[in-house]
Structure 1
Amino acid sequence: MEELLRLLAEDAPGSELARAAGSDQAARELALRIRAGMDASKRREAELSALVDVARELASARDPGSVLDTIVHRARTLIGTDVAYLTLYDEARGDTFMRATDGSVSAAFQQLRLPLGAGLGGLVAETHKPYWTADYPGDRRFRHTSPIDSAVGEEGLVAICGTPLIVDGAFVGVLFASNRTRRPFSRDEVSLLGSLAALAAVTIVQVRAAAETAAALEQLSAAHAGVEHAAAAHDRFADIVLSGGDVDAIAAALAELLDVWVVLVDAAGNELARAGRVADAMPSEHAAASAGARRSLPNLPSEAALAAASADSGRLSRSGDRWVVAATAKGERLGALIIGGVDELSAADQRIVERAAVVTALVLLFRRQAAEQSQRAQADILADALTGAVALADRFRLLGKKELPKQVVVAVCRGDHSRVLARLQAPLEHKLVLAGPYAGDLVLLLARPNAVTAARDLADVARRTGVTIAVTGPTTWGKDLVDTHHQATRLVTTMLRLGRTAESAAPDDLGVAGLVGAAEVDVQAHIAHVLGAVTTYDAERGTDLIGTLQAYFESGQSPTRAATALHIHPNTVQQRLDRITALLGEGWQQPDRTLDVQVALRLQKALTEKN
């Protein structure tokens, strides 16, 4: 007995106690029970110490991913298994999914999802109670499924213990310890895994809450910064409006504030302003104008449609790599801002763009009101000019224009002329002296050298707007301007009677019809307009194509008879006629053109005989 007490005091292992000499069986059994109790106490002390270490390690973790990795590593170490893993509950899908593993080698196992009630883990998740088995593949207590059994088989797991992670009654997930060979799990091991699971569940919830709080604080910080940014933008836009700035300044400010490119278009899609690095994204209006196209943007219809859709709400809409917002005032869409050059716009930046659209609409409204006042003033001056007034210089300067030109041409636009002024392009719009409605027509006074040149400049406007434009002049102010306007009025009436709609023309462009409608005729100018290319050719080369033309018409447009009259071969006549076609253009032998040519020939002959 004394020997047994000595061995216990020296902390001897149970094997030595069983072999102690001089002790009876009852004493050795008592000593062995005492030894087992001491061993269990030490084991619990070690486990508690390990749990304290785990708690300390988890408390220092701030990243949810590192917390989970720490949990499964500690579970594998404390329980002494081949593999440990953890699944988390997906409330949206109603199952659990693999989130962290330690010791796992199978990719399929690491991506496994466990429906509630399926397999050992699914049963733990459904009942919120621990389950364990020494031989999972052969244990019929669990509902086996092909995906689960396949993944478990690929990992080679045999013995599995799982315990739920629960905090304040809320299910978080399942913690597992497993072995690749058969082994029983003692209740102490199950309890230890449960303690670790409880500690892990609390830590997961706390870390999640901390992460959500940090995210919320970051959002608040970003929102605060966004508010400051928005306030700075508001002040910038207010300064532009108060200082009388135009839409160019708004576009430039917006491009600078958000580091984007900005294009502003009007309601018809014509470009009004641009700022930022937009050259690569959209061709400039100058390039479009030089190519003979109106100043509008590519792919604008879809963007204009988006702008129209946002007109009621005033909210920003995305179209591919661009954003579009309508600039509206009093329920009317005055234009649209198109933003690009950035992958994303924060909510605060989107509000800044929408604020810019409101300010843009205000400036456009001011601009339109100023334009309407200017147009009314112009219309008043124009009306006086067309009734013969000459004292117009001072009133003209009040419009912010320079001196009145000495001569102008008169263009009368008949039809729906509401879009004509918007379609005028440089340099023609810079040559516009006065414009306004008069007697139901739109009358333009242009500083151009002659009517033919102005009619050619206005041809695209007539075609695009569908109006008919008659151009006469040049003329001086006073009674001559009144007469020239009357001539343009008669000319546009003649054009409509001849079916020459959606065209622009000077009197000489209508041939004989133009002569009939004219109050006065410059015969020399008319002949030069119709036959100038041929007479110039004759003068430069010493030929007589004009004589060939006269002989051709006098012989009833027969090349053979003309050749006889001219005493030359018919082929020569045909060659001369081909040259005339090259000079006058195709179609000069059509009835209308033929009449114009013959009248010009007769007028030229009459002038020659007179001289």
Structure 2
Amino acid sequence: MVTRSETSTAEQVIHLLELLAADASVAEIAAAEAPAEARDLALRITGAREVHQHREAGLAALLDTARELATESDPGSVLDAIVRRARRLVGTDLAYLTLYDPEAGDTFMRATDGSVSAAFQSVRLALGAGLGGLVASTHKPYWTADYWADERFRHTNAIDGAVGEEGIIAICGTPLIVEKHFVGVLFAANRSSRPFTREEVGLLGNLATLAAVTLVQTRALADAENALAALSDAHETVRHYADGVEKAAAAHDRFASLVLGGGGVDDITHALAELLGGWAVLVDENGARHSAAGPAPEPDASGHDPVAALDALPGLGTGRLVERDGVYAVAVTAARERLGTIYVGGLTLGDSDQRTVERAGVVTALVLLFERQAADARQSARNRLVSDLVSRRGGREERLTLARTVGFDPQKPFCLLVLRGEEPGGHRALLISASAATGEASLVGTHDGDVVALVPGSDADGLARAVAARIGKRTCVTVAGVGPVSDVDDIADAHEEGHRTVGALIALGHRGKGAAATQLGFAGLIVGSEPDVDEYVRKLLGPVVDYDERRGTDLVGTLAAYFAAGGSPRHAAGTLHVHVNTVSQRLERITALLGESWQQPDQSLELQIALRLRALQAPA
């Protein structure tokens, strides 16, 4: 019979679910009457939902910004749109933008939104002076919740006077950089103290990257228009150039419509091939072919890609179009980081076509940057989930539920892999490679510096070897496998064993290889940081020990005497004071329990070590 208390609890939980379905706020969830465990889980779900909503809103705002900037052709209008968007996106009292003056060696105020001070709107910042000067001199973002108390930068009377007249307290500044060239600084500021979160700094940085590229392109377009006006006497040249500009503008419209319509980099590659009439290939940051269109050269039987092999073209790192043997290439870069390379061939490019390829590189970089941010957000959630599973954080049912929400069932047989790379700063690349190598059905994340993969299957050794071999084509990685595991509560112990095993593989000279923990045997005890002697003895002698405990026999003693007698049943019988036939019968029973191979050299050695360790263990 269901009690009134149980009915009340159920009603409270249903009410919580109704609040979640209605997108209730954290305050409403916290105020709801419900069991503490259910309310805590609901608060976590609500918090995660609000974080994802905030990130999605930021990405949507950036896309809107890209669309707005794409419609502007006047540099002044572009700058006004940038600061207006920055103020709205970060939610500050004002936003402003300074441009670099290479002749004077400083930056000057160019556009503001929300400013009320004439002195502030005309201030110039020397490199290293004020927070903006610090950003300009280091080309790195800086932010402060209290400008007046911050001693990281040099305060000057002119700058402090302008900042004071504007009433600014908190400032965040991020550099505008295109192809390693410093353009200016974008700021968001508040007239009251407020800390800037890393998400807000990152959002302002993404806007700055987009703004810098658009500003440079707008300037180039303005220069092109001025050049057209100056060439009025050369009618044929002007007409030819105008046709090229029109073709480039049509290409820009095509790329913009693809992005705003939800298209990806594959669509951009195909559009580029159609516009030019040749072939186009996009190679990712790791040198692997991402997408291709047209009659591009195919990789050979050994997997060698003749297109990706052109990655060493001189001048490719400058961001400009380069050419060799009829193949053109442009680096896809964002925020001074190379995200890939676009190659085109099968034709000869004129000036306008070359601009089309370079424009494709800029648009591709923007799309890849957005895709990376979305992928990083998903991976961050998976990292937290993997850490929760390995740490046994939260209740069992809660962990089961969270794992199943990402499509992984911890109650079906799976293996746990621990991957350790060698490239400094390559943690993110190793996560991506591990996800690709283990498949969509796997759960990949990090815990205490380890890359951990939970992979459906039961062959831990085979999985470890296959993953190490696949990732090893691009970078050295050592992989340890444990399993099969079939319960969420066993993940913590499996990870501990995998962590020891990957260290053992490296210590034994097997760097870059993959193996299961069971393949190391006693070597894992020697080199492991935390050897589990009980588990080792249990794994080897467990069936014999269990038989002795159930039947009251001493097969373990017979096994020890047999090895001590050099494998002679007759000498072992003398030691045990029994008939040799009795020893033979006991050895047959041991074979039934351990398998036919227990007397083979490798397993025999392991058994003797396990017997010795068992004898040395203190009695329980």
TM-score range, shorter chain: 0.3 to 0.5
After TM superposition, the score normalised by the length of structure 1 is: 0.46
Q: Rg larger in 1 or in 2?
A: 1
